Structure 1
Amino acid sequence: MPLGRRTEDADTGAGVDSGALTRIRRWTATVAVLTTLAVGCTTGGGPDEGSRPGERTPAPETSEPGGGGDGPVLAVKIDNVRQARPQTGLDAADVVYVEQVEGGLSRLMAVYATRLPSVVGPVRSARETDLELLRQFDRPTLAYSGAQSKLQPLIDAAPLAAMAPGKAPSGAYFRGADRVAPYNLYLRPAALKPAPKPGGLASTGFEFGAAPEGGTVTRERKVRFPAARFTFTWSADQKKWLVAMDGTAARTAEGKRLAASTVVVQYVAVRDSRFHDRWGNVSPFSETVGEGSAVVLRDGRAYDTRWERSSAEDGTGFTTAEGKRMTFAPGQVWVVLVKA
């Protein structure tokens, strides 16, 4: 097999040669045309329950949660390669975590604490980093497409409600008709009834309020992963940071620009985890327990801060250079976990 650039694998989200990926995409597209059945979850161990073939992705109208779950938040793993964009329902998240995965690419974990969109996706597989991040919440619900076989027991043992397609209620997941697998798996959050509760973000350690003194006037901030890049540009009109990914403006499925009220560029240790894909590519693990530096963007200014998280059960506190508590602007928060 001729070797090409390593990129995301169509089945596992890990690195694979670009030539092989091209052949996989052609094969997948052919199957998508010929089959009249919904495609099964690529990492979840079985077909999607309640999915119907050729569904068009509905518009993600935000609605109140249904009730009946244990924890205060719903976390959804969302793909972030070019084939997965534009994402659906991402603008309704309270917090968006950006983490590094195999091949230096990025993946998102959207946390919903106050409202639920009608549809979220495309949903992809979980990583070990997610488990440490989610320990700060009380029995959160994690929606994901599946996981590496040796990681799955850790997910099952974690203090959360794991909702992959094989465990979710009928109709929670479906395959959209506008994309090929694995970029077309979507979630109807109301079917999970995770019941976000008021104050669900309190355990994060985030404090919202008026901007502290200081900071540096900033129009734009760029963040680079080995194989992904993000740009956050201040919009005085919207009073938010407009998001661009890999040089392209990030939008919702309806064409709305993705924008954050606060952006946290959090510098963390990124090391090899114990897990790898079938080709031997090691999954990186971003350490979010400990301490380090961070840059917080809000209100058109950048604040140099320190972050500290004593244990996985604790939230993360941010302190300004003057030793005061860093406050966030009300609205969506993006936390970009980048290698220190």
Structure 2
Amino acid sequence: MTRSNPKRTSPATGTPPTRTRTAAALLATALTAALVAGCATTPRAGGDDSVNGSLKPRARTGPVLAVKIDNARAARPHTGLGAADVVYVEPVEGGMSRLMAVYATKLPPAVGPVRSARQSDLELLRQFDRPVLAFSGAQRKLHPLIDRAPLRAVEPGEVSGAYYRGRSKRAPHNLYLRPRRLVRAAPGAGALEATGFRFGPAPSGGRATVSRTVRYPAARFTFTWSAARGRWLVAMDGRAARTVAPATVVVQYVKVRKSRFRDVLGNHTPYPQTVGSGRASVLRGGRAYDVVWERARAADGTRFRTRDGRRVDFAPGQVWVVLARAS
């Protein structure tokens, strides 16, 4: 749990923020958003622009939308998560997890529940070209870093009608986003290419794998291969997540250090370092491939290669990237 900034939205109440920006900065933001929206084109559903439908996506036409999603038990089942092209699983305070869903080929009617941002999100999102980040609240000292990051950050109250409270769950697990209020059209799968996400045939080798479990101190994710569906079935904390079934799962082992931010109980916020290099395991087609990941700079995409240097492609469809602590 993060401490809310009185100048921004409270994660519990959704109170509109009063961010202090100059009139010139607001005007520049509005003009930029209008230009992006005007240049975007709507992709064909399930057609050539879709990761699920093509191995040769067209060039991107706008920013991706990234949404921070609550993953507490009370927040499940999620809404709109199955439409995401990429789902990042991140460690947070108390050994728990949060999700960040990235939308490039399609925009669902609603996404959520939406929760707060972390410092490590800013580094992770540098891979994308000025993405839109939807979140609800952050620590007060983190807000200046968010404002300086090369992205468009949108909290509740900043865009009319973008966020709303659902009735099926209790606050703070009931805040949802209408994506088309922030991004008029999905940019297409080409927006993923610069990040190192390549879709194509499976590499040779690998080992047959029926199931894989990744554990955090207070969270557990199990991926079980379904030959009938050609997808990995996801279970969170032992309970099936029926709205998602990724084609590829990447377990990316990273260094996790303490950030300089703490929660209200004084616990340091974990900072998974996604710049650098390390080992990873790519699960696709019922097989596991031991690979190496590399990302030299924050602005670079993450490259996945076999140990002899060959590029590793992903199966067409949703990709989950689980950030696990390197041993």
Instruction: Compute the TM-score of the two structures, normalised by the length of structure 2.
Output: 0.83
**Contact between 1:12 and 1:125, CA under 8 Å: does it hold in 2?**
no
What does residue range 124-203 of structure 1 map to in structure 2 within 5 Å?
124-167=115-158, 169-193=159-183, 195-198=185-188, 199-203=190-194
C-alpha change, 1:181 and 1:45, in structure 2 (3 Å) is: closer
Residues 71 and 137 in structure 1, CA contact (< 8 A), matched pair in contact too: no
- Paired amino acid for 2:288: A
Q: Distance in 2 between matches of 1:194 and 1:73?
A: 11
2:108 counterpart of 1:97: no
Gaps of 5+ in 2: 18-35, 41-60
User: Aligned ranges for residues 1-340 of structure 1 at < 5 Å?
Assistant: 9=1, 41-43=9-11, 47=15, 67-68=37-38, 71-167=62-158, 169-193=159-183, 195-198=185-188, 199-252=190-243, 258-340=244-326
Q: Is the 8 A contact 1:72 1:194 kept in 2?
A: no
Cα distance between partner residues in 2 of 1:45 and 1:181: 8
CA separation in 2, counterparts of 1:280 and 1:291? 30
Match of 2:57 in 1: none
Q: Are the aligned partners of 2:11 and 2:172 in contact in 1 as well (CA < 8 Å)?
A: no
- What is the aligned partner in structure 2 of residue 53 from structure 1? none
- What amino acid maps onto 1:205 in structure 2? G
Paired with 1:260 and 1:89, the residues of 2 have a C-alpha distance of 14
| Matching residue's letter, 2:248 | T
**Secondary structure of the residue that 2:74 maps to in structure 1?**
helix
SS at match of 2:283: strand
Unaligned runs of 5+ in 1: 1-8, 14-39, 50-65, 253-257
Q: What CA distance in whole angstroms lies between the structure 1 residues aligned with 2:115 and 2:214?
A: 23
- Counterpart Cα distance in 2 of 1:12 and 1:245: 26
**Secondary structure at 1:155 match in 2:** helix
Q: CA deviation at 1:163?
A: 0.4
- CA shift in 2, pair 1:195/1:12, >3 Å: farther
Summarize deviations over 1:255-294 as a string: whole Å, max 9, x none.
xxx2100000000000100111222111100000000000
CA distance in 1, matches of 2:121, 2:265: 22
Separation (CA, whole Å) in 1 of partners of 2:183 and 2:274 = 28
Distance 1:87 1:48, change over 3 A: farther
Q: What is the CA distance between 1:44 and its match in structure 2? A: 8.4
1:53-98, Cα deviation, whole Å (9 max, x unpaired): xxxxxxxxxxxxx935894200000000100000000000000000
The offset of 1:333, in angstroms, is: 0.2
Task: Output the CA distance in 1 between the equivalents of 2:207 and 2:65.
Answer: 34
Cα separation, partners in 2 of 1:81 and 1:44, compared to 1, 3 Å: closer
Q: 1:44 to 1:147 in 2, by over 3 A?
A: farther
> Given residue 155 of structure 2, which amino acid in structure 1 is its aligned partner?
A
Q: Which string of whole-angstrom CA distances, capped at 9 and with x for unpartnered residues, describes residues 272-327 of structure 1?
A: 00111222111100000000000000000000000000111000111113321111
- Which amino acid in 2 is paired with 1:67? A
State the percentage of identical aligned residues. 65
The separation in 2 between residues aligned to 1:280 and 1:233, in whole angstroms, is: 37
Q: Helix, strand or coil: the match of 1:204? A: coil
Tell me the TM-score normalized by structure 1.
0.79
Deviation at 1:179, TM superposition (A): 1.1
Q: Is 2:3–2:140's contact at 8 Å kept on the other side of the alignment?
A: no
Number of equivalent positions: 283
**Would you say the 8 A contact 1:12–1:43 is kept in 2?**
no
Distance in 2 of aligned mates of 1:67 and 1:236: 40
Q: Check 1:46–1:247 CA distance in 2 against 1; reply closer, same or farther (3 A cut).
A: closer
- Code of the residue aligned with 1:119 in structure 2: it is A
Q: Aligned with 1:259: secondary structure?
A: coil
Are the aligned partners of 1:71 and 1:141 in contact in 2 as well (CA < 8 Å)? no
CA distance in 1, matches of 2:12, 2:238: 32
